[in-house]
Amino acid sequence: MNKRKIVEVTVTALLIIGLGGAAVYGFSKAERYKRDMQYGYTRSLSDLRESVTNMRTTLNKAVYANTATEQNGLTEKLMQECAVAKTSLSTLPLTDNSISNVSKFISQVGDFSMALSRKISEGSSISASEYKTMQSLESYAKKLGTDLESTSPDFSGSYLSDSFDETSKDFSNFPSLIYDGPFSDSVGHKNPKLTSGKKNLSQAEAQKNAADFLNTDYKKLVHIQDTAGTMPTYNFTSADKNLRICITKAGGFVSEMSNSRTIGKEKLDYSSASKTAEAFLLKRGISGMKESYYVINNGICLINYAFVQDGAVCYPDLIKVGIALDTGEVVRFQATGYIMNHASRSISTKISLQDAQKKLSKYLTVNKSGIAVIPTPGLSEVLCYEFLCTGNDGDKVLVYINAANGYEEDILILQFSDNGVLVR
């Protein structure tokens, strides 16, 4: 064998050995990653089981607690366990359909306990119907705990999702809870205020409204399946299926529009998007709106607008406008909050701004104040003084003081970044 041949054979052998070693290393690394992932899933399922068990126990105890101190302690415990359950559930490899009812149940337990905690703190007593609700929740928590114990930690394929899908079916008839909580079923039963008393449009009339809103020919829109519920809509899409728009059957208002086209390289900034969105609203006859917060994500700047009446910012009357930062095109419009809540309000305070400010923490410095209507977590809303403050560590804090009784209704921490302003 000549020298050149020997070199070729040697190089080939080394290459094979190298590739083989890389393959073995890659396989080993993949197996290690898979083991770590399986461990994480197993831990989440275990935490979920434990938190649901603790939820059931706490609900059981709450029925027998008879002092405000003990009742408040149990509601706080219940909120903590619900938070753990939600976190654990969110980390499991499950489809949205398989966990929707279970997630909804956990949310309602947490929100129910929050509503009770506030009621107790205000000096009120738990009613007979609320005790009955506790017992109902406890029985559902027991059922969920039993189902979770029988769920095998097999995270391969669709087994876990299928198993949770069966569990979720057990909660499909979970009773509506009428209370002041953000995930209360009563929100779904609320009738939209803006469409109240408005005449129903025909499909053809709604299609024309949609075309006018989009500044296009109505013949370019295709009618698809309607949406039922408390706010029925006619739904239309473009021929390429990228664009979808929903028109309320009563009144013919645009409740939602989305364009799912691919967003190109960003060429515009927030300032440009803000001007475009404001002009878009005014051109469509939507006035009296104040921009609140915005976020930039996946090339779209989504800006929130709230209606202003008599100087009060009415946050429930919310409209969202999304601007594509490649061309400045409006690709998102969401007015469900506005349609559900918009109506003339009585803006009348019972305590003074000065008295409300006295309710603030001594660790806050007020930068700006105003009046705002904010949603309570369920069907209601409340008129508040809104204080934008700075905390000791530089935090920007929004505090809402009830303009009727001086109660501290909500506290929000503002988060500023290159991608927008959000609250937590």
User: In the beta sheet, which residues pair with residue 288?
Assistant: none
pLDDT at 316 over 80: yes
pLDDT at 344 over 90: yes
Domain membership flag for residue 8: no
Domain membership flag for residue 307: yes
pLDDT of 95 reads 60
pLDDT at 181 over 80: no
Same domain, 49 and 107: yes
Question: What CATH number is associated with residue 126?
Answer: 1.20.120
pLDDT higher at 81 or 190: 81
DSSP assignment of 263-324? P-S----HHHHHHHHHHHHHHTT--SEEEEEEEEETTEEEEEEEEEETTEEEEEEEEEEEEE
pLDDT of 392 reads 83
Same domain, 388 and 242: no
Average pLDDT over residues 96-111: 78
Same domain, 102 and 167: yes
Same domain, 321 and 363: no
C-alpha 26: how far from chain center: 39
Same domain, 65 and 155: yes
Percent of the chain exceeding pLDDT 90 equals 51
Domain membership flag for residue 14: no
Same domain, 162 and 96: yes
Select from 312, 344, 376 the last residue of a domain. 344
For the stretch 271-301, pLDDT in tens is: 999 999 999 999 999 999 999 889 998 899 9
Percent of the chain exceeding pLDDT 70 equals 80
User: What angle separates helix 128-149 from helix 159-170, to the nearest 10 degrees?
Assistant: 150
Same domain, 131 and 178: yes
Q: Kindly report the average pLDDT of the chain as a whole number.
A: 85
For the stretch 50-72, pLDDT in tens is: 999 999 999 999 988 888 888 98
Average pLDDT over residues 176-200: 74
Domain membership flag for residue 7: no
Domain membership flag for residue 30: yes
User: Which tokens is 171 given?
Assistant: 């909660």
User: Which tokens is 372 given?
Assistant: 């705002």
For the stretch 213-228, pLDDT in tens is: 999 999 999 999 898 8
Select from 261, 285, 314 the last residue of a domain. 261
Return the top range by mean pLDDT from 28-32, 141-145, 239-243, 312-316: 312-316
| Among the listed residues 102, 118, 244, 251, the one whose alpha carbon sits nearest the alpha carbon of residue 170 | 102
Please state the length of the chain: 424
Select from 315, 344, 373 the last residue of a domain. 344
Q: Sorting pLDDT into bands at 50, 70 and 90, what band is 192?
A: very high
Question: What CATH number is associated with residue 298?
Answer: 3.10.450
Q: Sorting pLDDT into bands at 50, 70 and 90, what band is 1?
A: low
Same domain, 279 and 252: no
Total domains in the fold of the chain: 4
Q: Sorting pLDDT into bands at 50, 70 and 90, what band is 40?
A: confident
Same domain, 241 and 271: no
pLDDT of 421 reads 83
Q: Sorting pLDDT into bands at 50, 70 and 90, what band is 365?
A: very high
Same domain, 145 and 270: no
Q: Sorting pLDDT into bands at 50, 70 and 90, what band is 119?
A: confident
Main-chain phi, psi angles of 235, to 5 degrees: -120, 140
- Where do we find the tokens 């921490």? 413
Domain membership flag for residue 256: yes
Query: Residue 107's domain spans which residues?
Result: 23-186
Same domain, 57 and 148: yes
pLDDT of 98 reads 58
DSSP assignment of 21-69? HHHHHHHHHHHHHHHHHHHHHHHHHHHHHHHHHHHHHHHHHHHH--SHH
pLDDT of 183 reads 57
Do β-strands 420-423 and 408-417 pair in parallel, antiparallel, or remain unpaired?
antiparallel
User: In the beta sheet, which residues pair with residue 78?
Assistant: none
Domain membership flag for residue 3: no
C-alpha 380: how far from chain center: 18
Alpha helical stretches, state H, 122-158: 128-149
Same domain, 418 and 326: no
pLDDT at 419 over 80: yes
Alpha carbon distance 336, 73 (integer Å): 37
Least confident of 28-37, 298-307, 377-386: 28-37
pLDDT of 90 reads 80
pLDDT at 14 over 60: no
Domain membership flag for residue 16: no
pLDDT at 29 over 70: no
pLDDT of 168 reads 66
